[in-house]
Structures are given as structure tokens and as C-alpha cells.
Structure 1
Amino acid sequence: MPRFSLRAASAVLLTLTALNAPAAYADEVTPVAVTVNARAALATVPETGIGTNHAIWDTNLGTDATADLLKDAGVKLLRYPGGSYSDIYHWVDHTAPGGYVAPNTDFDTFMRGVRRTGAQPMVTANYGTGTAEEAAAWVRSANVTKGYGVKYWEIGNENYGNGHYGSAWEADNHADKSPAEYARNVVSYADAMKAVDPTIKIGAVLTTAANWPDGIVADGDNGTWNKVVLSIAGPKIDFVILHWYPGALDKSAQVPDMIQLTRQQIAKYAGPGSERIGLAMTEFNTGSSSAGTNTQPGALAAADAYATVLANGVFTVDWWNVHNGIGNVTQVEGHTDYGDFGLLSSATCTSDGSVCEPPLNTPFAPYYALQMMSRFARPGDQFIRAATDQAKVTAHAARRPNGDLSVLLINTSSDTSYPVTISYSGFSPASGAPTVLTHTNGATSITSSTAGTATSQTLSPLSLTTIVLHPSTPQTGRPGTPGQPTATNVTDRTATISWPAAAPGARPIAKYELHRQNGAISEQLGETPGTSLTVHNLTPGTRYTLNVIARDSGGGLSWASPPLTFTTGTPASSSCSVRLTIQTDWASGYVGSIDITNNGAPINGWTLNFSWPRTWQSLGSGWSAVWTQNGSDVKAVNEAGNGSLPTGGSTSIGFVGNYNGPNVLPAVFTLNGTVCTTQ
């Protein structure tokens, strides 16, 4: 038996004492500050927001059990016949040459499931191996003969994956596989299909910002896929289609830029009236089997992404897939992750039979994420800004037509329970404990309780929490909501904002207030008794998101208007001008050329400055100047041979820019401290 000295025994005693010390001596967790701003409104929750995909190789596609589970999750849109199978599927004889078609997956069976679920259908017409006539016949059978009322029709699926850019996974029998040929066929499909039923909506496939092959111009094309497709088919389509598999669980911060860049492309290329064109994300999944596809981290990422995408005005987000099958099996956060991209278990096993999924239709964690989303933000609710000061905790909020407010809190920490304190702008919660919905790691249901207060909650590790709050005072008699604002006469420093008047409530409307969104904080830019206001002192090259609020003679406030987003320009005239041109792009970087022109007095020695708009952008290399980067700031100083710029003189410099998110280009350049005109 070993001997212990008194000193050793004392050390052991001290260690045991420390291990059993009261919690007061342990490190305390700093409460997370959550800000909810009802004055900073985002998009209204669409009826079709929560969607998912059905595939014709899933024999459980049309079962009552599947439909009932989807209904309980709040699914409101179902897409058919399933991803790339869409481009080999022929609806008339229910075949997919080269693929597997499961029993009981025909279109009528799908529609029975759609109706039992209480959802709307979205159908993908066969572009790859089909024809416009075949698609038009499908519309006739579905909507004229059988009265199904299928509103949304896509033309093909991921057709940029037809080999035109090198990689080929999508069937395409057309000899010409260019975006121009796809766009010409979209026009033909739209004409033929709408001749049968003019009420349907036609969708065209686009690439997603910063996702291959976005930004690439292939040989023989006069632009990127999106530019070509929108330029030709824009007048004939009603919505565009994005797919997003981010491959990581922390990419929701990229969503606003992803959507904004798509809207800018639509506005630039799709022709007059392009504001009618909606956005649909008809396939989404975290795309990260190693981090947790069907375990809790995947569910947390799903809820965050659904809330962010819908708040930015996309009319449906459709999970891939209802049933998918076992993949790479791992252990994630204490639970088996089957690498299954489905919402529900397929009860499949690995090839050697060593691991099998749970019984058929057992919900995986992302199922509960969709269910929580449908309870947090219901159709007709309006998303509003929410933010936190802790990277591990994400917040979303929505305001309901009856004046209630719901807050979704996502704790991504594996081991920390976070206390949160919640503050509200533009909303006063009623006293008493609110209704709290919770889903935790490994849970097989969402629990409901009455707990905490409107301003104080505690979030379990790896949890989804929704708080439903009532207002402290009745919401009757308030002014109606101002209409959609528009911006005109936008310069580098000013913009004129106009909006349709709000309907008065119990008292006359006294004025309108214009608020800018700064994250979850609002900055009032001005007020007026009219329905138009010119705002001044804006910053050049800056994206602004604004809301209008009506205030009545008694101080009652309306809901915030739908958001308006616009970007200011640069000075119409300046002593310098800059033109940035993209020479080539490979979807994660590009070669940029900058032409600098001196419009003022002769210059002997110059420095050009600009800043990267986003943290995921960086300088790779540069030439014809001495290039440096400090944080997000980039500086290019003349070389010995190009430092002199006479009046009217110009020079060109170049660089390689890297990015791993939506590539928002720098908009403001200064030459020797002067803001230049960006051409």
C-alpha cells in the first residue's frame, strides 16, 4: 500500500473541496442580451413557406401516415417528382428511364397526399428529356381534366448541371446545352403551358450566389447562366428557382446577400415588370453529414435557415427530402446520425446490415425544426428584426395579425445553458409567464409550458425555444399598415421615399415616420404628414433597408410597412472615376480590373482605397500597383511607372479577389482621399 505524506493528503483534500464547491464559486454564464424590434419589419410569412420534396423512388410518398406527419409539421408545399428525376420522368406512363420508380408514386397518388396534408403542390416539368407539349398536356390533365389546381410549375431541375460547365449530373438531351437554349425552351414551355391554363406560375432555374457555377461564363455564352436565362426568359416567368446546400451549419448570415444579389440580377436583366418575379428555394438541406444531418445540430441550422430565408421574402423553402435513406453513419452530440437527408426515417440499413435506421416514419430532428418553424411563424405573420450579443445564440421574431408576438431562440452550444434577457422596441408584452415551446437534443416532441417571463428565459444546450407573447394593451383602433415603399431619385447622398397611405383607425393619422434598420436597432430618418419624404445625409454606396410607420393623433402606431431596400450610388461628378470589371470568375474567386481616370488637376502619385463589403472576401494578389490589405480595407499605391495622371489621364490595375460567400462587389473607391464616381 502506498504511503501518503501529510502534504499530499492536504492537496487531495483541497482538490476534493474545490470539486464540491458551491455553484456561487463556479464560473457564471453571462446572460445573453436579445433585442426584438417590431419597428424593423421584414417579409410577411407566405402560405407556402414551409415545404419539402417528394420523390418517385419513395414508395411511402403517398401514404396516409406520411401525409399526416407532414401535416402535423405544418408543411404547406410539396414538390414532385423529385430532384434530378424530374428531367427523366414522363408523367403519362409514370416512367423514368434510367432511374427507379417505386410503386404507388404516380401523380394522382401524390395529389391525394397533397390534399390530405393540406398543402399546395409544385410540379417540375421534364426539361432534360421531355418537351413543351408533354408539359402542356400535364397541365391540361392536372388542372382542366382533374381540377387539381396546380399553381406552381418549374421548368427543369438544376439544368446548369448538364455538362455545359464541365460537371454533368442532370439529364439533358438537347444538343445545345447552353443557358440560352434552356431559356429559349423556358419561353416555349411557358407559352404552351399557359395556353392551357393562364393562371399557372412558371419558374426558371437559376444558380445560387457563390454556389457553383454562379459567376462563371462558359465558352460561347454572352454572360453567366443567370444573366442569359433572365435576359431571354424573364418576360415569360413568374418566379425563379434557387437550390442551397451550404455544406456547413453556420451560413445563414449569407442569406440576405444571396437573396439581394438574385433580386438585383432579376431587376437588371429580366425586363420591365420584373418586380413581379418571386423567389423559391425548392431544395434546401444543410448538406453536412459530418456535422449532423438528421441530429440536433442539423435541426438548429434548418430552423435558422428557414427563418432567415423566409424573412428575406422567398415564398417557399423546400427541404430535401421526406424520405432519403441511410448514408454515412456517425455519432453526433450523443446520438446516432444516419447521414439521412430525409425528414422521416426510411428504416433502411447499411450495406452490411450492421446499422439500421429506426422504424419507418420515425421523425428525425429536422422534422421538429420544421414543426417549430410552423408554430413560430404562421402564414400572415410578419417577420421582424431580432438579434443577440452571443454568437452561440440566434434570435428570430414575428408579429401576428392579432398583435401577439413570437420569438424563436436557438442555442447552438453543446454544453452551456444560456440565460437570456429580452428587450423590445415597438412592442410592450403583457405581464405573466408566456407560452414556451421547446425542443431539446434527442427529444421526440416539442414540449409546451408556461415558464419564465417575457424578458427572461433560460435556453438548454442545443435547443429550439419559441416564446409566444400577448401585448400589454388592446391593439384595436390603431392605424392600418402603410403600403410598400419605393425609392426614386436615389443619389450618393439622398433618396426620395414614397408609400401608399395607411387606412386610419379610430383616430386620424397625424404623420408617418421613416425608420432605417441597423441590425435590430431602428434609426428614425425623418417624419412627414404626407406620403413622400426625401432623406438626406446618406452614405455613398450603402445598402439601406427602411420601414414606414403611421402614427395617429393619439400616439397610436401602425405595424411597420413592408421593407424597402435600396443602395445609394457614388457622386455624379468627381475629380476621379473608377470602373471595376470582372475579367473571369470561378465561383470562389475572380480576376478584377480597375480603370482609374483622373478628372481633376494633374496627379503625381496616387493611392486607391476600398473596403471589402463582407468578411468572407479577401485580396489574393494584385498587379500594376503595390497592394496591401488591413482587415477589410484594401490599398493600392502606384508603381514608379504609373504614378503620374494628367487631367483626363487614366491607368489600369488588377487583382485577384477571393470569396466563400455571396460576392458583393466594393462600391466606393477613393483616390487620394476623394470619393470617385463608380462607373
Structure 2
Amino acid sequence: MRKSRIALLAFTLAAATLTVPSPATADPAVTVTVNARAGLETVGDAAIGVNHAVWDSQLGTNAVADLMKDAGVQTMRYPGGSYSDIYHWKTNTAPGGYVAPDTDFDHFMAGVRRAGAQAMVIANYGTGTPQEAAEWVHYANVEKNYGVKYWEIGNELYGNGHYGSGWEADDHADKSPAGYATVAKQYAEAMKAVDPTIKIGLVLTTPGNWPDGIVAGGDAGTWNQVVLSIAGPSVDFAILHWYPGGSSSAEALSKTAQVTDAVWLARQQINRYAGKNLGIALTEINTGYGQNTQPGALFAADAYASLLAAGVFNIDWWNVHNGIGTVSTVAGHTDYGDFGLLSSASCNADGTVCEPPMNTPFAPYFGLAMTSRFVTTGDQLVRAAASDPAIRAHAARRANGDLAVLLVNTDETASKQVSLSYAGYSPAATAQVHTFGNGDTAITTGSGSATAVTLAPNSLTTLVLRPAASTARPATPGRPVASAVTAGTATLTWPAGAAGVKYEIHRQLGAITEQWGETTGTTFTVHNLTPGTRYTVNVVARDGSGRVSWASPPVTFQTGTPAAAPCAVTLTDASNWGNGWVGSVDITNTGTNPVDTWTLAFGWPTAWQQLGSGWNGTWTQTGSTVTVSNADFNKLIAPGATVNIGFVGNYQGPNVLPPLFKLNGNLCTTR
């Protein structure tokens, strides 16, 4: 998306450390369960990031760098969104756009270094060349020794007009995904010839967001399919952007529920088409509601924590500064519709409303700052769950034995009395408590109980716990790998750890784990699995004294369907327009007897998928279950014969295809 330009000044804000307040009234007790043995992904050194733009006159200034450092920002992205595809680093120019004074690459890196962060640099694909990008790598890492590790090849190139919408500059004659991938591969080769140690990212579409799923005329597949097939083997990570929208606080905050499926689908596409494991960076994100007020802060903390738990290694908020937009009142406070973390001190068109002084942090700034208090480099996210859907719970264990719990109270009016319980961890009685409430201008820090806390309405709270006693643990096992996955079995294998231990295999069920078994070896085959089901599994080691290791990194796999069944179903995404699609369904009678009169049933995997209409049968949806009964002309399916039916499906998030189909109650093979 094209970003606005602004002029900026300087301002300094002091943080406060206060005693944690306790609201007088609260809803009935909420239970939060934390399971330290249900391990998720580990936080890297580039996790918490922001975007910087060359039209921002505060880029690289000491005031901004210090604010980023105080918020725990680890990564700064440059030179800024769509400007990246018109920006020429040697001359610090962007033909057709505005470049503020003192925003060149060296000024940017000075701010990065002062903040103690690292850079994510976008090479100009739209109006640049592979040689220009390679020379930038040489200047950065050979001449200046900046050590810039992460490089993107262009910004949102799917927005170059190929799918009908054109906001991204692209001078290449071939604007198709194949055109981008072919030239991006040349960029990667030229840049890595200068510095083989750099990591290069490739622009993808985010599952469930336009133009994901669309196949344009003349293309061999979707953007992701084509780009990954051609250039995936030559790069190191995939680039996603996410602006999930929402017209209310509740709607905007509900979008974080899409993270797990979006990342799952992206990984499926990467593995299938690139044939290798690529990291995933979400280099632009912002909320659809309350950009400067408390909903934005809650969204930022909840989204960053969810994405890190899913294994996204870098998340960059759009933007440090952006400029005033549509002014409104949100949660009792003025929202300026400004996508910046910091105020630009700009005014609306008629001058009746102006933002606060320059660089005043908006609420999402504190959402990022709270996230940095919740997780640090090397922490492993673990499962946490709340009994009240208004509470979002996240947890992370630290290498020093500490455990952190992030609690997000999305209820706009009611405080919540929370009781916490822990599995696989015994905390000391007292915890450090960080809070950020609606209308606050700083994060407050105090002390409280490790097992009970009151959450103010519309608030963020982080508990940092110490262990009750230091306990030596066996070495943590490595990440398991799933192989030979069928409808009902899977074989798990993991790297050998310390001698003399037994390995326990645990399946995650929310914040609860189900132990499948144990072994002294490093391979385990599990049976009696449910077809078409996604499983997340950890391995923990237990020594002869009964001491248990931390959980391994997880493996997630999905079982298939029976190879032999009386029916087979093939579902094809025949046509897609970004928030809807045509599903073509072939039903084959693989049995020996005719099927006379039939009903096919399947379930939507997510809450944001619905049936629109259908044909060649009578279609209905009840809850998440879709059923279709035969028409008069296709009620008989002879052995070996196939009938075709179809439907229009609608979706407002990742479009996960149904894995299971039943014909007259019999489970079919899904092809």
C-alpha cells in the first residue's frame, strides 16, 4: 500500500515505574492455565521490529532511536513500504516521491546502531537492478562493515497491476509472478555473490488476503505457487504483510485467531513449491481499528505473541511515523487514524484537530514495549489458555529459568480476576508485574502474586516469574520430524540427547498435553490417530532421578484419509477472487455396489468460512457442517463412476480446505 509522507520534529518522553493498581470490582474468576511442557517456537534476535521510511525527517535521530531502544525494538526496516521500489540508495532519491533530509542509508544505520537493533533492508526491485542491489550489499557489509543480514527483494510486487490493482512501481515488462520470480532470482544471485552470509527474502501473498488464491490469465498458478517454484530454492525467507482490518475493537482483535492457520498454510505452500524450509518474516502489520488507542496496543501485543509462537521470526509494525488520518473517539480517547507508533504532530485538513507533540508515543508503541518485556531472544513460547474468551493468554519460558505470562483483557468495560495454574513449572510466590491500561502514557511496574492478578478493562499485563527452586534439567531434545504419516499413524524421529534418559512424547491439546508414550530410543510410532486431523507434538527427556527437560520445539503434521474406502472425493479450487472461491467436487464410487441416493457432508475448518451457494444438488449449512444431497439426475453413482457437484465458498481469513468428506456416513478417501 502507498504510504503518506510527513515532516517531523523532536520530543522526549519519560517512562514511569509505579505500584500496580487493583480495580475495585471484577467479573467472576477466570482461570488461566500455563503448560511449560507444551513448547512452541523460540524467539530470535530479529523478532520485534518496526518500519522506517525515507520521507520521515525523524529517521535516524537520537530521540527516535532512544524511544525504539526503550521499547525493545530489535529490527528496523528501510527505506519504507512502496517507496522501496522507487528508492535509489546511492543518491538518496525516490523519483516521484519525497525524501526528507538526512534520511540516507548511513543516517538510518546510525539510528539502528544507537537503538541496539539490526536492519531489514529492501532492495529496489520496481525501478532498480540486480547490480544496484549488489552494490548496496557491498557498501553496507564490505565498505562500511554494517553487517546487514536481512535483505528483501522489493515490496508488494503483487500490487503492480497484474491482478488489476496497481500501487507498486514496477518497470519490468513482465509483471507476472513468473516475471518477478525470474528477476528476483537474479537479484539473489548477484547479492549473495558479494556476501554469501546474507539472508534474502521473497515477496509472497499472505494466506487469506488478496490476491492470495487468485490465478491471473496466463499464469501457471497463484502468485505464491509460481514465485516459490522458480525463486524459492535461491532465497532464505518468505515475506508476508498483514493488514487484517476490522470496524470495531472486537472485530479487529478477533483477527489474531487467524494467525495459526495463516502460518500453517504459508508453510505448506513453501514446503510444496520451494522444496526447502524458508523462514517467515511479517514485515508490515497494523490494526484495522484504534490505530493510536488501546485496541491498537492490545492487537499489537496479541498479534506479535501469536506470530512468534507460530514461528514467524520477524514482525515489523507499520510505521514509526505516518501522519494524521480520520479522527474519532475510541475507548474514550482521541484516535487520530495515524498508522505511526509515534505522533507526527500533524493536524487534520481544516486544522481543528492536531496530534500531541512530536514523537509522543501512541498506545501501540506500548503494545510493542510490553511484548519486549514478555519475550526476549532465546525464549521459547509455551501454551497458555484462559477460561474466558475475552482473555488472551500467552506464556514463554526463559533460559535462566524464569517464566513470563502475557494477559490481554479485551473486555472494554469489565475487569477480570484471574487465577493462574502451572504445569511443568513451580513459580515463586511473588511475580514482577507490568501493566498498561486504557489511556495510560507509560507501562507501570510493580510486584504481585504469581497465581492471582486483577486485569483492568482493555488492558495488557505481563507477569515475570522466578522458579520456586533451581532445578537441574536434562538437555532439551531437538525438534522431532514426522514421517510415514497415514490416516491413522505417524512416525516421529528426533536428534539424540543426553545418555541415560527416557523420552516422553506429548501431544498438545490447548494448554493441556496428552502423553502418547515413552521410549529410550529416538523414534516413536503413534497409532490410532484421527484421519484429517492436525497434531502438534513435543518430546521431553526424563532422567533416572525423574527430572524433566524443557519441551523440544514442536512438530505439526496432519493425518490423511484412508487409502481404501467405499468412496473418493477430489476438491478443486476452480476459481478464486480473494474472499470467495468456486469449489469443484468430484465424488467417485470406489466400491463394488451402486450408490442409489446420497448425501455428502464436510465441515469447514475455520469460523470465517461459509457456504454461499451450490449446484447439482441441494446444499445446506448448519453450524460449520455443510451437506449436499443428490439431485434427481445424479442420485445413482455406479461402481467406478464419478459425479461432479460445485459450490461457492466465502471466506474472511485463511482458506483452509476441508480435509474430510463422508458419503452416506462413510468416510471417503480425499484425493
TM-score w.r.t. the length of structure 2 is 0.94
Which consecutive residues of structure 2, in runs of 5 or more, have no partner in the other structure?
1-23, 247-251
Which stretches of structure 1, 4 residues or more, deviate above 6 A after TM superposition? none
Equivalent position amino acid for 2:311 in 1: G
Equivalent position amino acid for 1:590 in 2: W
Q: Which residue of 2 aligns with 1:22?
A: none
User: Aligned partners of 1:235, 1:377: CA distance in 2, in Å?
Assistant: 32
Q: Which residue of 2 aligns with 1:388?
A: 386
Alignment pair present for 1:527 and 2:518: yes
1:347 is displaced (CA, Å) by 1.2
Q: Which residue of 2 aligns with 1:569?
A: 560
Q: Which residue of 2 aligns with 1:23?
A: none
* Residue in structure 2 matching 1:257, options 255, 261, 265: 261
User: Aligned partners of 1:650, 1:339: CA distance in 2, in Å?
Assistant: 54
Q: Which residue of 1 aligns with 2:173?
A: 175
User: Aligned partners of 1:215, 1:398: CA distance in 2, in Å?
Assistant: 34
Q: What pairs with 1:438-587 in structure 2 (closer than 5 Å)?
A: 438-451=435-448, 453-476=449-472, 478-503=473-498, 508-509=500-501, 511-587=502-578
DSSP 3-state at the match of 1:470: strand
Equivalent position amino acid for 1:146 in 2: K
Q: Which residue of 2 aligns with 1:610?
A: 602
Q: Aligned Cα RMSD in Å?
A: 1.2
Q: Which residue of 1 aligns with 2:314?
A: 316
DSSP 3-state at the match of 2:633: coil
Q: Which residue of 2 aligns with 1:201?
A: 199
User: Aligned partners of 1:120, 1:340: CA distance in 2, in Å?
Assistant: 25
Equivalent position amino acid for 1:316 in 2: N
Q: Which residue of 2 aligns with 1:74?
A: 72
Q: What pairs with 1:407-422 in structure 2 (closer than 5 Å)?
A: 407-422=405-420
DSSP 3-state at the match of 1:221: coil
Equivalent position amino acid for 1:253 in 2: A
Which consecutive residues of structure 1, in runs of 5 or more, have no partner in the other structure?
1-25
User: Aligned partners of 1:553, 1:559: CA distance in 2, in Å?
Assistant: 16
Q: Which residue of 2 aligns with 1:89?
A: 87
DSSP 3-state at the match of 1:130: coil
User: Aligned partners of 2:621, 2:363: CA distance in 1, in Å?
Assistant: 43
Equivalent position amino acid for 1:596 in 2: I
1:27 is displaced (CA, Å) by 9.6
Q: Which residue of 2 aligns with 1:640?
A: 632
User: Aligned partners of 1:668, 1:412: CA distance in 2, in Å?
Assistant: 34
User: Aligned partners of 1:608, 1:440: CA distance in 2, in Å?
Assistant: 50
After superposition, give the CA deviation of every residue in 1:381-431 in whole Å (9 maximum; x if it has no partner).
100011112122111000011111110011122221110011111111122
Equivalent position amino acid for 1:497 in 2: L
* Residue in structure 2 matching 1:330, options 321, 328, 331: 328
Between 1:628-637 and 1:159-168, the stretch displaced more is 628-637
User: Aligned partners of 1:414, 1:622: CA distance in 2, in Å?
Assistant: 40
User: Aligned partners of 2:313, 2:292: CA distance in 1, in Å?
Assistant: 25
User: Aligned partners of 1:615, 1:363: CA distance in 2, in Å?
Assistant: 35
DSSP 3-state at the match of 1:326: coil
Equivalent position amino acid for 1:530 in 2: G
User: Aligned partners of 1:494, 1:570: CA distance in 2, in Å?
Assistant: 11
User: Aligned partners of 2:315, 2:604: CA distance in 1, in Å?
Assistant: 30
Q: Which residue of 1 aligns with 2:299?
A: 301
Equivalent position amino acid for 1:547 in 2: N
User: Aligned partners of 2:356, 2:596: CA distance in 1, in Å?
Assistant: 74
Equivalent position amino acid for 1:657 in 2: G
1:28 is displaced (CA, Å) by 6.7
After superposition, give the CA deviation of every residue in 1:461-485 in whole Å (9 maximum; x if it has no partner).
1111001111122122x10100010
Q: What pairs with 1:314-393 in structure 2 (closer than 5 Å)?
A: 314-393=312-391
Mapped contact 2:26–2:454 kept (Cα < 8 A): no
Mapped contact 2:425–2:467 kept (Cα < 8 A): yes
Mapped contact 2:65–2:114 kept (Cα < 8 A): yes
Between the aligned residues of both structures, percent identity stands at 65
TM-score w.r.t. the length of structure 1 is 0.93
Q: Which residue of 1 aligns with 2:285?
A: 284
Q: What pairs with 1:663-678 in structure 2 (closer than 5 Å)?
A: 663-678=655-670
Report the number of matched residues: 641
Equivalent position amino acid for 2:114 in 1: R
Q: Which residue of 1 aligns with 2:434?
A: 437
User: Aligned partners of 1:462, 1:448: CA distance in 2, in Å?
Assistant: 17
Alignment pair present for 1:598 and 2:589: yes
User: Aligned partners of 2:112, 2:25: CA distance in 1, in Å?
Assistant: 52
User: Aligned partners of 2:611, 2:518: CA distance in 1, in Å?
Assistant: 42
Q: Which residue of 2 aligns with 1:3?
A: none
Q: Which residue of 2 aligns with 1:159?
A: 157
Higher relative contact order (CA 8 A, sep 6+): 2
Mapped contact 1:42–1:562 kept (Cα < 8 A): yes
Larger radius of gyration: 1
After superposition, give the CA deviation of every residue in 1:48-87 in whole Å (9 maximum; x if it has no partner).
1000000000010011111011001000000000000000
DSSP 3-state at the match of 1:573: coil
User: Aligned partners of 1:209, 1:343: CA distance in 2, in Å?
Assistant: 26
User: Aligned partners of 1:434, 1:387: CA distance in 2, in Å?
Assistant: 19
Equivalent position amino acid for 1:251 in 2: K
